[in-house]
Structure formats: C-alpha cells, structure tokens
C-alpha cells in the first residue's frame, strides 16, 4: 500500500468526493484508510468509566484505498505515487516516494 499515515489525500469517489484531508490511520490487511472528516458515522456508546455520559458520537469510518489519491498542496493536484532512487552528495542512494503528476517528493 503506497498511502501512509500523515499523507494529504484527495477523495476521488463517493459522497465525500473532492475532499482534501490527512490520513489518520492505515489498515493494510483490509486495504482501507481512515481519513480525517471523511465517511462520518454516528455511533451509540454505552456509559463507561472513561465516558460516563455515553450517548451518540460521530466517528470517521474506513474507506477503500482506491478511493483516495495523494494530494500535492503546492501544485494543487492529486496524483499517483511512485518510487524512485535519489543520490545524495556522498553517492548514497535512498528510495523515496513521489507524486507522479507533480514530481514532488513526499516526506
């Protein structure tokens, strides 16, 4: 899975199409990601010691990784993620992720 926690992504399908937000959690076994403010569901919580009132809370639910694309804020464009090797001044090669559309290297 090429999307990582902390990446800025744009939702490309579904009710939240066009939304740009950060990935909060990656679920690689299920091929799903949890994106901040996307796919909100209401969950009924029983009262517990941690939450004595209980009640209804809103929670982000997972969406399939194929419904998001990496987003480049500077170029304001979403693109696929690729891998390439970069050589530093000492001649050491490191493998980096980059946005194929804009060419910028992801952290």
Q: What pairs with residue 43 in β-bridges? A: 57
Q: What residue ranges do the domains of the chain occupy?
A: 8-78
Domain 8-78: state its class: mainly beta
Give, for all 107 residues of the chain, the pLDDT tens digit: 999 999 999 999 999 999 999 999 999 999 999 999 999 999 999 999 998 999 999 999 999 999 999 999 999 999 999 999 999 999 999 999 999 999 999 98
Which DSSP state fits 75?
A: T
- Report pLDDT for 107: 81
Render the burial of 56-75: b for 16+ CB within 10 Å, e for the rest. eeeebebbebebbbbbbeee
| Residues 84 and 98 sit within 8 Å (Cβ to Cβ) | yes
């Amino acid at each position: 899975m090429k999307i990582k926690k902390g990446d800025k992504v744009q939702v490309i399908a579904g009710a939240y199409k066009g939304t740009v937000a950060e990935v909060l959690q990656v679920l690689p076994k299920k091929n799903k990601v949890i994106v901040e403010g996307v796919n909100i569901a209401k969950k009924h919580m029983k009262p517990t010691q941690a939450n004595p009132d209980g009640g209804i809370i809103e929670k982000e639910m997972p969406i399939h990784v194929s419904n998001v694309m990496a987003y480049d804020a500077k170029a304001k464009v979403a693109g696929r993620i690729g891998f390439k090797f970069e050589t530093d001044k000492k001649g050491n090669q490191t493998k980096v992720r980059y946005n194929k559309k804009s060419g910028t290297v992801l952290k």
